[in-house]
Chains A and B, each alone.
Chain A
Amino acid sequence: MPDGRKKKTVKTIKVILDRCNGCRACEIACSAFHARPKYSSVNPARSRIRVIVDMLNDEYVPIRAAGYTATACQGRRVYTINSKQYSECSFCGAICPTRDLFKEPDSGLPLKCDLCEDDPPFKEPLCVQACPPGALVYEEKDEEAEEEAADAGREALETGLQTLIDNYGVQKVAGSLLRMLQKE
């Protein structure tokens, strides 16, 4: 393996929009799997996958909960796919103050898709299993990626050090580092 790169498995669910018939079984499967005790109830509002439906626009988009919104989101873009217009939000799984999605109905806490982590693990997440038309396709890909673990945070660390050097001079910073090393 080349330096600084390593193999990792990327798990994802691919969505094939034209195959979705709008039946929302993925929501049933998800909410049941995440119910406590497991499977004991059904409630699409607790599901971490929701089908965004706009019937008059022929829009059926299953999206998965993906955590909090990026602070920079404007959410105003419009995509045109096969001459149909979709708002950016139709593809966004973020928990977002502008809409009532992916919030636990009782607590309001955010929901996030965990691809049905279970022990023993499923062959495929349950929403995929519940979708015979194949609008949801589970994919595991081995990808070679930059070795993020080793490099993680290096940039932030260096930026911080640069600030210290700018304020105190490189000699003082180096001296402090040396003293800290000796103490250890």
Chain B
Amino acid sequence: MRYAQTGYSLEVDLSRGNIEIVETDPELMQLHLGGQGTAAKTLWDRVPPEVDPFSPDNLLIFSAGLLCGTPVPGANRTAVNTFSPQTNLFAHSLMGGYFAPEMKYAGYDSIIIRGRAPDLVYLWINNHRVEIRDAAHLRGKGAQETAALIKEELKEPYAQVAAIGPAGENRVYMASIEHASASASRGPGPVMGDKRLKAIAVRGTNDINIARPAELYELFLRLRKEIYENPYVGDWMAVEDDDSFHHNNFAWGNARVRRKNFWSKELEARWAALTQKVRDRLTGCYNCPKQCHHVISWPGRQRYFLKCFGKDTYHMAAFKELDFSYEILALTQEYGLDSYSTPQVLAFAIELYEDGILTDRELPGFPADSGERFYYLIEKIVRREGIGDILADGVYRAARRIGRGAEKYDHNTIKKFEQVPIKLVKLNPPYFLMYATGEKMSITQIEGSFPQDPLPTREEREKFVREWVAVPDEKFKRIFLEWEKREQLSIEASCAICDWNEMMHYLDDALGLCGFLSSFRGQFGGKPVYHSNNLPHIISLATGMELDKDGLWEIGRRNRNLVRAINVRRGLRRKDERPPEDHWKIRDPEFEQKLLDAYYSFKGWNSEGVPTCRTLAGLGLDYVSEDLLRRGILEADENAPVREALAAEGTGGCGDA
């Protein structure tokens, strides 16, 4: 019997209509935990780098995190992984809600989809009965509407549905997969559309077994109370009316303008009143007492869930106010569009029009008002009509297809992906590393454990450090105590901070934990519920696996290096690892390259950012180095500089060596 896991994957080939239930190797949990970790292993093993993201040979994998479906509060993330047509790299995507636990109760740790259906279909998973069903009648339907229709026709109100809207059907690169209050963005939406899979509905009534249940139950009750009462976790954007931070500091329009004095008390009161008027309720995800999503009813539109920074992106990109976001989101979420990347594509198009690069020829009848322009462009993009067909490929590719100088307007992408619109003054060394070397494409998926800013006095810093239980290593306390100015962190400290930050995300994404309780929430207040000191015990209670902190970090490093190797095999190299030129006004190219050198060697990567044979061997990834050697990406004698680094650093991460 397996604990916490089901031990099975569901394999569906949409080209042939074949469905198989496959028992998984128990050792995979020991090596990768689950969720994105095991998905990375599957993608490495089964999708060679030559496979185009829009090939039937590309896989689309929904995986439940290892702790999903157990009593561990906030463990509900579904990882959706594939190769993204936008970046041509590993697509990292996560959604909350209820989908992953339901997958587990249905009997599957992952759903692996390959091939392409002859016509639009949906998948109905009812425990061990699995059907590929016709979805012709759902073509063009909104995501929530699709979910409601499927539940009705199956007469299964308790099924959980993940669906694409028309944006995904038309392979729009910014398309998301929508599920209940959550959505999966950054790549898998257009792949699901390419596979002609409109939705997956799942219902499960099987048990998930727990290794040490009585202890885990005590923890469940205690943690639920702690999470509910801990003001440092959850999404403050959902419950606080003061949102001066994003409005005064983030860039508006096509990531261009900072409006440092935008926020006012008058505005705050007005927006708070509006929110009260249109908000029906705050909801959480499966097994989480927090209230991070607004349920919004906008007059004349279907009720929808608003989450996260999506509350700001549309109106900031359009130079509008909150009412604009509330209304447009009702439409874009039904279309299945990601609210981080889409507004940037729209603002980019408007800038091109204002500067005469796009004209009335491409945009006939283009309205004068920026808000109306957004609606105009969205219709074109979702249907891939005219210029919409080009814009639907995202800013990077659209800029190159349009040409005529449009490339210069693509100033906020990394690795071909739209970034959160932040434009600052002074180079911030750990952030340089996170932006440059991250492979999750959004800074929100990389930052989060080490505080963003120092505390002003030594006294405050000492108090903070005393209460700081999340630190994996004493060295972070020393770094924090000495830290006075945001940008003044040594190369050594910057490497350690970047490593810890991204490590927590790699752990969350394999365990299915929400970043708002864990990886993202250490940076303000330093009191995340989950951290690498308490997770080994929690994992042991749920799974029975013996694990300590070092063992957990080793698994995290294995997953991290495997994702890096997957991307390296698809061409990722040092040249791709740089933040947008204007991310900071004041840059220092020489220092930046030194930082990158230091970080690569800290990670056990060579000067091109490729994990060395020695690093891979240390993580039991010899099969990866063999492949990289065979392809000529690694050379056999390439581990010399790394040996020194290993000796100096004790393999990095949290090692106490």
Contact = CB atoms under 8 A, between A and B. Distances in A.
A28 B71 CA distance: 7
A41 B280 CA distance: 34
A40 B284 CA distance: 25
Interface in B189-216: 204-210, 213-214, 216
Interface string A1-40: 0000000000000000010011111001100100101111
B221 A130 contact: yes
B16 interface: no
A23 B293 CA distance: 12
Contact of A58 (B204, B280, B291): B280
B289 A40 contact: no
Contacts of B205: 43, 45-46, 105
B284 A132 contact: no
A22 B69 contact: no
Nearest to B104: A42
The CB with the most chain A CB atoms within 10 A, among B216, B288, B289, is that of: B289
A41 B216 CA distance: 11
Contacts of A40: 209-210, 213
Nearest to A43: B207
A180 interface: no
Contact of A42 (B208, B283, B302): B208
Interface in A26-69: 28-29, 32, 35, 37-46, 53-58, 60
A75 interface: no
A32 B71 CA distance: 9
Contact of B289 (A25, A37, A44): A25
Contact of A132 (B70, B207, B289): B289
Interface residues of A, number: 36
A169 interface: no
A146 interface: no
A63 B288 CA distance: 19
A8 B637 CA distance: 84
B213 A132 contact: no
Interface residues of B, number: 48
Interface stretch (B223-231, B261-269, B622-630, B649-657): B223-231
The CB with the most chain B CB atoms within 10 A, among A22, A58, A131, A133, is that of: A22
A38 to B, nearest CB: 7
B146 to A, nearest CB: 12
B363 interface: no
A169 B280 CA distance: 67
Interface string B136-162: 000000001000100000001110000
A56 B214 contact: no
Contact of B148 (A45, A56, A130): A56
A117 interface: no
20 contacts: A21-B282, A21-B291, A22-B284, A23-B284, A25-B73, A28-B220, A32-B210, A39-B216, A40-B213, A41-B208, A41-B209, A41-B210, A43-B207, A44-B105, A45-B205, A57-B303, A58-B295, A130-B221, A132-B289, A133-B291
Given A29-B217, A38-B214, A43-B205, 10 more contacts: A21-B283, A23-B284, A28-B220, A29-B220, A39-B213, A40-B213, A45-B206, A55-B144, A55-B180, A100-B156
Interface of B: 69-71, 73, 98, 105, 144, 148, 156-158, 180-181, 204-210, 213-214, 216-217, 220-221, 224-225, 227-229, 280-291, 295, 297, 302-303, 305
6 nearest A-B pairs in the assembled complex, by CB-CB distance = A45-B205, A132-B228, A39-B213, A41-B207, A105-B205, A21-B284
